Amino acid sequence: MTVVRAPRFGILTGGGDAPGMNAALKAFVYRGLERACSVVGVYDGWEGLIGDELPDTLALERHRVRLWDREAGSNLGCTRTNPIRVLRGEKRVDVSAEILRNIARLGLDALAVVGGRDTLAAVSKLVALGAPIVGIPKSVDLELGLTDYAIGFDSALRTCSDVVAGSRTSAGSRKWVQVVEVVGRRAGHLALWGGLAGGAQMILIPEHPFSLEQVYRQLDARLRPENPRGERTPRYATIVVSEGARPEGMQEVLVDAEPDEYGAARLGGVGALLAERLRADTDVDARAVALGHPLRGGAPTALDRVMAHRLASAALDACVDRAWGMMTAARGTLPHGRVTRVPIADALVAPCCVDVARDYDTQRYFVQRTVS
C-alpha cells in the first residue's frame, strides 16, 4: 500500500516587524489544517535559511498559535537579511543556493513569505532559480504595488493618528509648532491619512516636494489670521511629514548614507530639519518628533487581523496550487473586498503611491476635500 505524505509547508516573516504578522501565521496554520497540511515556522526571516546547519524551525500547531492573532510583532522574528547580498568577510555574496538547499533539507513542499518590497524582491529572484515560494504582503506604509492593502498598515495608522492627536495638546499648551515625522520612503499614505485622522494642519509627502516658503505662509495664515468675528487666534500647529518628503531643490534627508543589504540608505531627519528651519526663518517655536519603530508596535487592529487572516489563508491555498512567484493581494478591504493573486515581479514594478491629483491639495499641503 502506498502511503501519501501530507504536504509540508514552511512560513517565515521578513523585513521589519508589523502588527498582524502573528495573525497571518495563525491563519496560515489553521487553513493548513483544513487542507491536511503540516506547517513549520522558520525563525528570523531569510537569515534562518542560510548556512550549513539544519535551520531552526518551530512546528506550528493549533494549540501553539491559538492566541497569536492578538499579539504584536512576529513570534518567529524578522531580519532584513538579503540572500542575494549577504556579507561574508568583506564581500557581499549570493547565498541563494543555500536557501534552496535548506528548503529541500527541511522537506518543505512550499514556503510562504510575509514581507514587504525588499523581502518579496528576494522571493522573485529565488523563484526564478526554482524555489517553491509564495508571498504575503506586509507594509506599514502601504507601498507595495498591485494590492489595496498590506498587513500592518491600519495598526500603524492608528498609532500615527494617536500620536498626532496627542501632540496637539502639548503644542497648544506651549504655543509651538509640532512636527511629527513618520515612515514612508516612497509612499505618503501613512502621513496623509494619519495626519487627517489625528487633526494635523499640514501634511508633507514624498510624492510632492514642498516649498518652505509655502509652509511658512500656511503657518502665518493659521497663527496670525485676520479674525473679523473676534475669534481667538490658534496657539499652535501640527505638521506631519513622511521621512521621504523633501523640500524643493533638496535631496532626501538621510540618517545614514551607507546603503544596507538591499541598497537603500536610511532615511530620517526631515522633521528635525523642518523644525530647525522654522525656528531660524520665522518667529515661531517648533519641535520635532520622529516615529520609527513605535509605529510597528502594539496589538493589531481588527482590520489588520481580518486582512492578515484572508491574505495568509489565500497564501496556503496558493502553496497547495503550486502558484510559485505569486503574491496574495487585496482588492478592497471590508465588507466587499476580495483576495486574489498577482505575480510578485509585477507588484514590484512600481510602488503604490498617493494619487496626488485625486487625494492631495498641493496648495494647502493637506488632504483634498473634493471627493470624486
Q: Which residues are catalytic?
A: 141
How far apart, in whole angstroms, are the C-alpha atoms of residue 296 and residue 36? 33
Q: Please state at what angle helix 153-174 crosses helix 302-320, rounded to 10 degrees.
A: 160
Beta-bridge partners for 115: 137
Amino acid identity for residue 327 in this structure: M
Residue whose C-alpha cell is 500500500: 1
For residue 335, say if its preceding peptide bond is cis, omega within 30 degrees of 0: yes
CA distance 233 to 10: 59
CA atoms within 13 A of residue 242's CA, in its CB half-sphere? 32
Give the integer Cα–Cα distance in Å for 119 and 16: 10
User: For the residues of 124-178, what is the DSSP string, one character each?
Assistant: HHHHHTT--EEEEEB-TT---TT-S--BTHHHHHHHHHHHHHHHHHHHHHHT-EE
Instruction: Give the integer Cα–Cα distance in Å for 269 and 288.
Output: 9
Sheet with 8-13, side-by-side order of all strands:
57-59, 38-42, 8-13, 110-115, 133-137, 326-331, 338-343
C-alpha distances in Å from residue 21, one per residue of 48, 109, 305: 17, 22, 9
Residue 150 and residue 286: Cα distance in Å, rounded? 34
The three three-digit cell numbers of residue 56, written as one number: 531552526
Task: Return the beta strands (E) in 235-304 as ranges.
Answer: 237-242, 254-256, 266-267, 286-291
